[in-house]
A and B are shown apart, each in its own frame.
Chain A
Amino acid sequence: MRTSSPCLLLLSGAVLALSAAASTTTDTIPILKAPEAFHEQLVLKPLNDGSVYSHFQFTTHIGTMMDDDHFDGAASNLFKHYNLFPRSIGQILHSFEVEELHLTFTQGRWQYSDWGYPLAPSAGTGVELWAWLNNDKRQTDEHWKGLTNTLSGLFCASLNFIDDTITTEPKLSFRNEGLYNTHSVPPTLHNNNNSTIPRRLRYGSLPHENVCTENLTPWIKLLPCKSKAGIASLLKSHKLFDTRFYSMAVHVRSVCEDEKCRVRSLELVQTITAVFDVARHDGSFNWSLSGLFEREITQSCPLASTSKVIVNLPQTADIENQYSLVPHPPQGIHSEGSGDKKQEIAVYDLQKILPETTSPFHLALQWEGSRPKSVRAITPGIVAHRYFTGFGQERGGLAIEIRNNNSQDIEAVYLDTLPWYLKLYLHTFSIQLNGKSLDNQRDLVQKMFYQPAVDRSRPAVLEMALRLPANSLVKFTVSFDKVFLKYTEHRPDANRGFDVGYAVITAKLPREQGQIGYGGLDHLRIYQEREAGLVRGRRSDNREEEEKEGETDKMRVYTDTLLVSLPTPDFSMPYNVITMTCTVISLFFGSVFNLMMRNFEVVKPASKKSGKGKEKAEKTE
Chain B
Amino acid sequence: MAKGLSSNNAVAVFGTAVALRLALFQFPALASLLGERVEISTPVTSFKRLSEGVFLFTNGVPPYDGGVVHQAPLLLGLFYPIISSPLLVNLLYILIDLAIGYMLLQITAIKDKDYAKEKKITQYGGKEEEPGMSGLSVATLYLFNPYTIASCIGRSTILYSNAAVAAAIWMGMKGNKSLAMFNVAVATYLSLYPSMLIIPVILMLTRKIDDNDLTKKVAIRCTGLFAGSLVALFALSFVLVNSWDFFGSVYGTILTVSDLTPNLGLCWYFFIEMFDQFRPFFLVVFQIHVFIFAVPVSIKLRKYPLFVSFLLCAIMGTFKGYPSVGDASLYLGLLPLSSEIFKYMRYSFLVTNLFMYSTLLAPIFWYLWVYVGSGNANFFYAIGLVYGIGEIILMIDSTFALLRRDFESQSPPETTGQDAALGWDREVVQK
| Residue of A486, A596, A599 touching B296 (CB-CB under 8 A) | A596
Q: How far is the CB of B195 from chain A (nearest CB, A)?
A: 20
Contacts of B276 in A (CB 8 A): 486, 488
| Residue of B52, B59, B272, B400 touching A425 (CB-CB under 8 A) | B52
Contacts of A391 in B (CB 8 A): 371
In A546-585, the 8 Å CB interface with B consists of 567-570, 573-574, 577-578, 580-581, 584-585
Closest A residue to B371 by CB, please name it.
Answer: A392
Give the contact stretch, choosing among A350-358, A369-377, A587-595: A587-595
Asked if B170 is at the interface (CB within 8 A of a chain A CB), the reply is no
Asked whether A596 and B300 contact (CB < 8 A) given A568-B377, A584-B266, the answer is: yes
Contacts of A394 in B (CB 8 A): 36, 370-371
Asked if A620 is at the interface (CB within 8 A of a chain B CB), the reply is yes
| Cβ contacts B360-381/A at 8 Å (1 or 0 each) | 0000000001110000111001
Give the contact stretch, choosing among B19-27, B157-165, B215-223, B420-428: B420-428
Asked if A29 is at the interface (CB within 8 A of a chain B CB), the reply is no
Asked whether A425 and B381 contact (CB < 8 A) given A488-B276, A600-B429, the answer is: no
Determine if B428 and A603 form an interchain contact, defined as CB atoms under 8 angstroms apart.
yes
Determine if A570 and B377 form an interchain contact, defined as CB atoms under 8 angstroms apart.
yes
Contacts of B207 in A (CB 8 A): none
| Cβ contacts B48-72/A at 8 Å (1 or 0 each) | 1001101110010100011110000
In A379-404, the 8 Å CB interface with B consists of 391-395
Contacts of A392 in B (CB 8 A): 370-371
Asked if A82 is at the interface (CB within 8 A of a chain B CB), the reply is no
| Residue of A486, A567, A585, A595 touching B403 (CB-CB under 8 A) | A595
Determine if B426 and A602 form an interchain contact, defined as CB atoms under 8 angstroms apart.
yes
Asked if B404 is at the interface (CB within 8 A of a chain A CB), the reply is yes
Asked whether A425 and B274 contact (CB < 8 A) given A567-B377, A596-B296, the answer is: no
Asked if B392 is at the interface (CB within 8 A of a chain A CB), the reply is yes
Q: How far is the CB of A459 from chain B (nearest CB, A)?
A: 10
Q: How far is the CB of A467 from chain B (nearest CB, A)?
A: 19
Asked if B74 is at the interface (CB within 8 A of a chain A CB), the reply is no
- The range of chain A's interface size is 35 or more
Contacts of A602 in B (CB 8 A): 411, 419, 422, 426-428
| Residue of A395, A420, A587, A601 touching B429 (CB-CB under 8 A) | A601
Closest B residue to A486 by CB, please name it.
Answer: B272
Asked if B399 is at the interface (CB within 8 A of a chain A CB), the reply is yes
In B374-431, the 8 Å CB interface with A consists of 376-378, 381, 385, 388-389, 392, 395-396, 399-400, 403-404, 407, 411, 418-419, 422, 425-431
Contacts of B377 in A (CB 8 A): 567-570, 573
Determine if B289 and A585 form an interchain contact, defined as CB atoms under 8 angstroms apart.
yes
Query: What's the dominant secondary structure at chain A's contact region?
Result: mixed
> How far apart are the CA atoms of A605 and B407 in the complex, in Å?
19
Give the contact stretch, choosing among A20-28, A130-138, A448-456: A448-456
Contacts of B67 in A (CB 8 A): 420, 423, 452-455
In A596-610, the 8 Å CB interface with B consists of 596, 598-605
Contacts of B273 in A (CB 8 A): 487, 569, 573-574, 577-578
Closest B residue to A420 by CB, please name it.
Answer: B67
In B114-130, the 8 Å CB interface with A consists of none
| Residue of A420, A450, A481, A589 touching B289 (CB-CB under 8 A) | A589
Q: How far is the CB of B69 from chain A (nearest CB, A)?
A: 8
Asked whether A592 and B396 contact (CB < 8 A) given A569-B272, A603-B427, A616-B427, the answer is: yes
Determine if B270 and A577 form an interchain contact, defined as CB atoms under 8 angstroms apart.
yes
Count chain B CB atoms within 10 A of each CB in A460, A483, A574, A595 and give the residue with the most.
A595
Asked if B112 is at the interface (CB within 8 A of a chain A CB), the reply is no
| Cβ contacts A480-491/B at 8 Å (1 or 0 each) | 010111111000
Asked whether A423 and B68 contact (CB < 8 A) given A393-B370, A592-B399, A595-B400, the answer is: yes
Asked if B291 is at the interface (CB within 8 A of a chain A CB), the reply is no
Contacts of B266 in A (CB 8 A): 581, 584-585
Asked if B258 is at the interface (CB within 8 A of a chain A CB), the reply is yes
> How far apart are the CA atoms of A601 and B411 in the complex, in Å?
9
Determine if B419 and A604 form an interchain contact, defined as CB atoms under 8 angstroms apart.
yes
| Residue of A578, A598, A605 touching B419 (CB-CB under 8 A) | A605
Asked whether A452 and B66 contact (CB < 8 A) given A425-B52, A588-B396, A596-B300, the answer is: yes
Asked if A426 is at the interface (CB within 8 A of a chain B CB), the reply is yes
Asked if B234 is at the interface (CB within 8 A of a chain A CB), the reply is no
> How far apart are the CA atoms of A406 and B369 in the complex, in Å?
47
Determine if A427 and B52 form an interchain contact, defined as CB atoms under 8 angstroms apart.
yes
Q: How far is the CB of A578 from chain B (nearest CB, A)?
A: 7
> How far apart are the CA atoms of A479 and B419 in the complex, in Å?
73
Determine if A588 and B419 form an interchain contact, defined as CB atoms under 8 angstroms apart.
no
> How far apart are the CA atoms of A621 and B65 in the complex, in Å?
69
Determine if A485 and B371 form an interchain contact, defined as CB atoms under 8 angstroms apart.
no
Asked whether A484 and B260 contact (CB < 8 A) given A577-B381, A581-B270, A601-B431, the answer is: yes
> How far apart are the CA atoms of A567 and B365 in the complex, in Å?
14
> How far apart are the CA atoms of A423 and B276 in the complex, in Å?
23
> How far apart are the CA atoms of A605 and B422 in the complex, in Å?
9
Asked if A617 is at the interface (CB within 8 A of a chain B CB), the reply is yes
Contacts of A568 in B (CB 8 A): 376-377
> How far apart are the CA atoms of A601 and B430 in the complex, in Å?
6
Determine if A601 and B428 form an interchain contact, defined as CB atoms under 8 angstroms apart.
yes
Contacts of B428 in A (CB 8 A): 600-603
Contacts of A605 in B (CB 8 A): 418-419, 422
Closest B residue to A565 by CB, please name it.
Answer: B373
Contacts of A569 in B (CB 8 A): 269, 272-273, 376-377
Asked whether A598 and B385 contact (CB < 8 A) given A585-B266, A592-B399, the answer is: no
Asked if B345 is at the interface (CB within 8 A of a chain A CB), the reply is no
| Residue of B59, B66, B418 touching A453 (CB-CB under 8 A) | B66
| Cβ contacts A445-474/B at 8 Å (1 or 0 each) | 000001111111000100000000000000
Determine if A587 and B389 form an interchain contact, defined as CB atoms under 8 angstroms apart.
yes
Closest B residue to A574 by CB, please name it.
Answer: B273
Contacts of A604 in B (CB 8 A): 419
Count chain B CB atoms within 10 A of each CB in A395, A426, A484 and give the residue with the most.
A484
Determine if A426 and B55 form an interchain contact, defined as CB atoms under 8 angstroms apart.
yes
Determine if A426 and B52 form an interchain contact, defined as CB atoms under 8 angstroms apart.
yes
Determine if B296 and A455 form an interchain contact, defined as CB atoms under 8 angstroms apart.
no
Q: How far is the CB of B331 from chain A (nearest CB, A)?
A: 14
Determine if B371 and A393 form an interchain contact, defined as CB atoms under 8 angstroms apart.
yes
Asked if B18 is at the interface (CB within 8 A of a chain A CB), the reply is no
In B238-295, the 8 Å CB interface with A consists of 258-262, 266, 268-276, 286, 289, 293
Contacts of B400 in A (CB 8 A): 595
Determine if A485 and B269 form an interchain contact, defined as CB atoms under 8 angstroms apart.
no
Q: How far is the CB of B320 from chain A (nearest CB, A)?
A: 13
Contacts of A592 in B (CB 8 A): 293, 296-297, 395-396, 399
| Cβ contacts A484-519/B at 8 Å (1 or 0 each) | 111110000000000000000000000000000000
In A402-451, the 8 Å CB interface with B consists of 420, 423-427, 450-451
| Cβ contacts B12-48/A at 8 Å (1 or 0 each) | 0000000000000000000000001000000000001
> How far apart are the CA atoms of A290 and B13 in the complex, in Å?
89
Contacts of B310 in A (CB 8 A): none
| Residue of A426, A603, A613 touching B426 (CB-CB under 8 A) | A603
> How far apart are the CA atoms of A484 and B67 in the complex, in Å?
13
Determine if A603 and B429 form an interchain contact, defined as CB atoms under 8 angstroms apart.
yes
Contacts of A621 in B (CB 8 A): 425
13 residue pairs A–B, Cβ–Cβ below 8 Å: A450-B61, A451-B66, A453-B66, A456-B258, A488-B276, A569-B272, A577-B381, A581-B266, A585-B319, A591-B392, A591-B396, A592-B293, A599-B431
Q: Apart from A423-B67, A578-B274, A585-B286, what are 4 other A-B pairs with CB-CB below 8 Å?
A: A420-B67, A486-B276, A592-B296, A599-B407
Could you tell me which B residues sit within 8 Å of A by CB distance? 36, 48, 51-52, 54-56, 59, 61, 65-68, 258-262, 266, 268-276, 286, 289, 293, 296-297, 300, 318-319, 369-371, 376-378, 381, 385, 388-389, 392, 395-396, 399-400, 403-404, 407, 411, 418-419, 422, 425-431
7 smallest A-B Cβ distances: which pairs? A452-B66, A427-B55, A603-B427, A600-B407, A455-B67, A598-B430, A392-B371
